[in-house]
Amino acid sequence: MTTAIALYSGGLDSTLAILAVMKQGIQVKAVTFLNHFGCDITDKSSCSKDPFAAAVKFGFEVKLSHLSEKFINIVKNPKFGHGRNMNPCMDCRILMIREAKEFMDMTGAEFIITGEVIGQRPMSQRRDALDIIDRETGLRGFILRPLSAKLLRPTIPEMKGLVNRELLFGFGGRTRKPQMALAAEFGLTEYPAPASGCLLTEPNYSYRLSELLSHESDPSLEDLNLLRLGRHFRLSNTCKVIVGRDERENNALEAALGTRGFFLRVASHASPVAVIRGAVDDRTIRIAAALCARYSDAKLLPEVAVKVWYGDAVSTLTVTPADEALIERHKIARKEAGRTLLKA
C-alpha cells in the first residue's frame, strides 16, 4: 500500500488534505509538530486543535514531535526573515518538512502531504515561497498539496500514478468557502475557526520576546513561557519583574515557579503575585515590592507592607506604591506612533 506522511495541525486545511489522499486508498501517517510558542494541542487555535478526534473518526494515526531547540534557533536567526512580528514562517515550514522527511525515510513512505493553499498566508503560501520550501528541503516533486494541486505542477507521486490528480483540488486565496463545502462532503463536521495560533504573530508577545533576546541570548524554556503572563518590567540588563494581572495569572506564576526565586504579595489587601527573574539585590526587591503594591487594592495608601518569599524564608518590606514615572521607566511595552501599547 502507498503511504504518505502528512503535516497535521488539526486545522481544517490539514485535515482535508489528509482525507483527500485517504479517499484514494493511500495510507496516511500524520505528524503534529509542537513548539514553545503556542502551536501545541493545549491551546485553542487552528494550529492547535486536538488532533486525535479527527484521527479516531477517520482512521489515521498521529505522531507528536517537539521541535524544541531547533525552532528557538530559527526564531533567533531565520534565514528567510521574520514576518510582521517575530514569526519565521518560511523557516518554520522548512524545518517541519525536513523533520517530516525523516519520518518518511524511517517509514518508507512515498511522499509528504501538507494542507497549504496558494495565497492563503502572505509569507509562506505564495507560489514563489512554495518553490523555495521545495528547494530548501530537497523534496521538490515529493510534497503534495492536495487542496491546491491543480494550480501547481504535477508532483512525482501524481506522475507515477500513485495519486490521481483529477481527484485533487484547485483552491486558492484566503476564502475558506470551498474548504467548508468539501468538509461537509467528507463528513468533517467539527473544525476550529481560522487563527494562526502562533504567539510569534502577536505584536505584544513578539515585542517581549525580542526584548528578552536582546538581554539573554539563550533564554530558558521557563522564561519563554513566562512571556505569556502578566506585566513585565525591566530593572536591569540581568533582572526583570513580572506582575500578575488577575487570579488566573497569579496562579499560573505560582505554578510555573513553585518556591523557586523571589515571590511578592501585599500582606493585607487583594494583591497580584510579583516575581523577580535574574540577578537580585536590595534595589530590585524594593522596586518589585513597589510595583506589586501599585497593582494591589492598597495602591492609594502612602505605605504598604509587602511580603517577600524566597524559598522557605519570608520577610516583610514596607514601600510606597510605584508612581507612573517608575512604571514608565521600567515597563516593557511596544511603542507605536508615540503611544505605548501595553495590555493591562
Least confident of 45-54, 79-88, 283-292: 45-54
How many Å apart are CA 136 and CA 54, to the nearest integer? 31
Least confident of 119-133, 224-238, 307-321: 119-133
Top pLDDT among 40 and 211 is at: 211
Do 216 and 223 meet the contact criterion of CB atoms below 8 Å apart? yes
How many Å apart are CA 271 and CA 221, to the nearest integer? 27
pLDDT tier at 191 (50, 70, 90 boundaries)?
A: confident
pLDDT, the chain, mean: 90
So what's the pLDDT on residue 50? 59
Top-confidence range, 33-47, 195-209, 251-265, 312-326: 312-326
Least confident of 33-42, 231-240, 333-342: 333-342
What does the pLDDT average to over 320-336? Answer: 90
So what's the pLDDT on residue 180? 95
Q: Which residues of 297-323 are buried (b: 16+ CB within 10 A; e: fewer)?
A: ebeeeeebbbbbbbeeeeeebebebbe
Tell me which H or E stretch contains 22. helix 12-22
DSSP code per residue over 309-328? EETTEEEEEEEPPP-HHHHH
Q: Is residue 96 over pLDDT 50?
A: yes
Do 132 and 124 meet the contact criterion of CB atoms below 8 Å apart? no
How many Å apart are CA 300 and CA 95, to the nearest integer? 52
Give the count of beta carbons closer than 10 Å to the beta carbon of residue 138. Answer: 10
So what's the pLDDT on residue 344? 37
What's the CATH number of domain 3-186, 3.40.50.620, 1.10.260.40, 3.30.1370.160, 3.30.1490.20? 3.40.50.620
Q: Please indicate, yes or no, whether the overall pTM of this predicted structure exceeds 0.85.
A: no
Q: Write down the domain spans for the chain.
A: 3-186, 202-341
